[in-house]
Amino acid sequence: MAFWKISPKSRMPYILSLLVPIFRALKKISVDVTELDVVVIGNIGVSESDSGVKRGVVESIKRFNGVVPFHLGINLGNNVLPHGLQTADFQKLDDFFSSSFSSSLFPIDFLTILGEHDHEGDIDKQIQYHYQKDQRFYLPGRNYVYGYESNDIEVTLSDGISIRFLCVDSTPLYESTLSSQFIENSVREREIDSN
């Protein structure tokens, strides 16, 4: 449904979501070429042993990476299927992410956002996975900027071109059941940030 067709009262969660706090990444990447090679993945939340499709996709990505190594990954969510991460047991994310994209073959960050199914579990546990287990699963918060801190450019190609990524968890925008929870959490995050 188009935004302008939504009743004014229902638009409020969408408008308020624009005011979400953004975490700024403290990461600096310099690339010695004038191109940034990026791999984009999504719906990776199953193990390779359970999905021949995922196994084939991961093998293709590994072959491409062997020819021209990727500088960065983007992970579009649905990191744990079918119902998100339920506990602080990180074994599922190890199986679904770290085992498929080992740090020896992929010593790069995968800018990660949350997907619809991730919201069925505990999204804070996925954020903790980034901090406690594998920082390449780059998810410092639900929303963040990567490559920019206090007006200092942090991702720079050899020709001086700078790149910035704005990563936003937009699931609450189209999942009405999440909208009120999203607003409540955003208000709580703002209160914490202001203290």
**Residue 122 sits in a domain of what CATH number?**
3.60.21.10
Q: Kindly tell me if the per-residue pLDDT of 149 is higher than 70.
A: no
20 occurs within a structural domain: no
Give pLDDT, residue 66: 98
Q: Has residue 107 been placed in a domain?
A: yes
Alpha-carbon torsion (73, 74, 80, 86), positive or negative: positive
- Would you say residue 99 lies in a domain? yes
Out of 43-52, 84-93, 99-108, 123-132, pick the least confident: 84-93
Query: Higher confidence at residue 88 or residue 76?
Result: 76
Give 13's pLDDT tier (boundaries 50, 70, 90): low
pLDDT of 161 above 60: yes
Establish if 31 belongs to a structural domain: no
Whether the predicted pLDDT of 11 surpasses 70: no
Predicted confidence at residue 186, as pLDDT, reads: 59
Q: Let me know if residue 5 belongs to a domain.
A: no
Q: Give the structural domain span for 151.
A: 38-193
- How many CB atoms neighbour CB 17 within 10 A? 18
Check residue 170 and give its pLDDT.
84
- Tell me, what's the pLDDT at 72? 94
Report the distance separating Cα 135 and Cα 108, nearest Å: 10
What are the backbone angles phi and psi of residue 42, rounded to the nearest 5°? -170, 160
Domain contains 14 = no
What's the pLDDT score for residue 41? 98
Does residue 11 fall inside a structural domain? no
- The answer to the question of residue 4 being in a domain is no
Average pLDDT score, the chain: 82
Mean pLDDT, range 59-69, rounded to an integer: 97
pTM: 0.78
Q: Which two tokens stand for residue 63?
A: 């072959």
Question: 176-194 vs 8-17: helix axis angle to the nearest 10?
Answer: 40
Q: Residues 114-140: what's their mean pLDDT?
A: 94
Closest CA to 169 of 128, 102, 118: 118
What is the tally of structural domains in the chain?
A: 1
